[in-house]
């Protein structure tokens, strides 16, 4: 049995149950998923400033997961906050939801588009483009488009979310040349199948990509390389 802890790196619990409910649909029968959110930090992540506020508390929660005996940990935000820091500190597999999603998308077609939320220019330039460069997949990305809906408004703007998603997916496919769509936010839930059926292209749900990747690494007894993600040296660190 694999035990995986999902850390939602925002100071609200509003996404905890929806995130795990989606993962539960796809996980292996004997995988146990527990979810927590950080108690300090931003209530949503829509720019690098938000990400900076979230990262320390996220990495501390990831450390706690390893001490609690979990087999793997997921940072549940498409910006992958604290993932690289946690990979250095932890020995168990550490997975974000962006990196596995875009790698899977890169295998499904020639070009993928990411459709995200939040203030479009801030999200695209400050977070997602830099992550694509880091993951070596900038050349596989046809475009990054935003619904321009704040993350915290998604729950009350479900009709608008779906309408804007269909509009941006259509543009990504017909104007940008995408043949695969990645939903660029862990809060965009329950809409992937309708987009797939409407446009007949693969649609990658990042939370599902993350849980399956984490399960795979645990099953294969693999984790991040300590030759690259070297363990941080012991020293005084004052919080």
List pLDDT tens digits, range 150-186: 888 887 777 888 899 999 999 999 999 999 999 999 9
pLDDT band at residue 118 using 50, 70 and 90 as cut-offs = confident
Number of helices (H), then strands (E), in the chain? 9, 8
Helix (H, G, I), strand (E, B) or coil at 87: helix
CATH of the domain at 37: 3.40.50.12500
pLDDT band at residue 127 using 50, 70 and 90 as cut-offs = confident
Average pLDDT over residues 62-69: 98
Whole-angstrom Cα distance, residue 213 to residue 219?
A: 10
Q: What is the pTM of this model?
A: 0.94
Reply yes or no on whether the pLDDT at 122 is more than 60.
no
Q: What percent of the chain has pLDDT over 70?
A: 97
Q: Give me the phi and psi of 122, to 5 degrees please.
A: -65, -50
Q: What percent of the chain has pLDDT over 90?
A: 80
Mean pLDDT value across the chain: 93
173 and 81 in a common domain: no
| Higher local confidence (pLDDT), 157 or 29 | 29
Is 63 in contact with 32 (CB distance < 8 Å)?
no
Is 210 in contact with 74 (CB distance < 8 Å)?
yes
Whole-angstrom Cα distance, residue 51 to residue 180?
A: 27
Instruction: Look at residue 52 in the predicted model and tell me its pLDDT.
Output: 94
Please report whether residue 225 resides in a domain. no
Is 177 in contact with 111 (CB distance < 8 Å)?
yes
Domain holding 51, by residue range, is: 3-96+208-219
| Higher local confidence (pLDDT), 191 or 142 | 142
Average pLDDT over residues 187-205: 91
Average pLDDT over residues 138-160: 88
Rounded to the nearest angstrom, the gap between the alpha carbon of residue 195 and the centroid of all alpha carbons in its chain is 19
Closest CA to 231 of 73, 69, 86, 75: 86
Q: Give me the phi and psi of 35, to 5 degrees please.
A: -130, 140
133 and 123 in a common domain: yes
Tell me which H or E stretch contains 214.
helix 206-219
155 and 78 in a common domain: no
Please report whether residue 235 resides in a domain. no
Whole-angstrom Cα distance, residue 50 to residue 230?
A: 26
Considering its fold, how many domains does the chain have in total? 2
Please report whether residue 231 resides in a domain. no
């Amino acid at each position: 049995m694999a035990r995986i802890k999902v850390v939602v790196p925002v100071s609200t619990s509003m996404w905890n149950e929806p995130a795990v409910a989606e993962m539960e649909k796809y996980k292996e029968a004997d995988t146990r998923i527990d979810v927590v959110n950080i108690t300090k930090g931003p209530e949503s992540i829509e720019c690098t400033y938000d990400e900076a506020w979230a990262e320390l508390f996220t990495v501390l929660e990831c450390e706690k997961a390893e001490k609690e005996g979990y087999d793997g940990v997921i940072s549940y935000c498409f910006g992958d906050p604290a993932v690289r820091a946690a990979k250095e500190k932890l020995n168990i597999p550490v997975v974000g939801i962006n990196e596995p999603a875009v790698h899977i998308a890169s295998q499904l077609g020639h070009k993928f588009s990411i459709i995200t939320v939040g203030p479009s220019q801030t999200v695209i330039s400050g977070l997602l483009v830099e992550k694509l460069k880091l993951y070596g997949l900038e050349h596989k990305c046809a475009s990054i488009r935003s619904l321009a809906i704040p993350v915290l408004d998604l729950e009350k703007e479900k009709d608008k979310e779906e309408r804007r998603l269909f509009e941006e997916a259509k543009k990504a496919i017909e104007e940008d040349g995408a043949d695969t769509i990645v939903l660029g936010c862990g809060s965009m839930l329950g809409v992937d199948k309708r987009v797939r059926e409407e446009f007949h292209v693969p649609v990658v749900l990042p939370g599902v990509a993350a849980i399956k990747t984490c399960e795979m690494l645990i099953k294969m007894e693999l984790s991040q390389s300590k030759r690259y993600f070297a363990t941080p040296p012991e020293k005084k660190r004052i919080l």
